Amino acid sequence: MSSAPHSGSPDSRLVKRQADATRCALLGGDPQDLIVLDVQLPDLNGFEVCRRLRFAGVNTPVIFLTAADSVEDRVRGLTIGGDDYLIKPFSVEELVARVNVILHRTGRSAESRYLLRRP
């Protein structure tokens, strides 16, 4: 899998390609606390990735982070199983706040100290 260490946590990994994230989630290996998907990537459309995950019974929270900003795109992303939808350009602080809310709500991670915080 194509991944790189995250600077905040020795156990966190960033999956760089949507195909790797999808394969990882569908096969149940290396479970993720949360998945951030771009809708407009060449290897696999983010909506399709989310649809496949939900069809396979994967309940990992999904945040769409994308330039696709129409109301139709946002509604589609949320109705196929996305937990949130953030439009580019975005604020890192807003993304971190949304990640914190979803992780807290789902009880996925008590280790929120690893997320970015303002000094």
Distance CA 66, CA 109 (A): 24
pLDDT in tens, 80-91: 999 999 999 999
Read off the pLDDT band of 40 (50, 70, 90): confident
Read off the pLDDT band of 32 (50, 70, 90): confident
Return the CATH architecture of domain 12-107.
3-Layer(aba) Sandwich (3.40)
Q: Residue 1: its pLDDT value, please?
A: 29
Global pTM value:
0.72
Q: Are 39 and 4 in contact (CB under 8 A)?
A: no
Q: Residue 9: its pLDDT value, please?
A: 42
Read off the pLDDT band of 24 (50, 70, 90): low
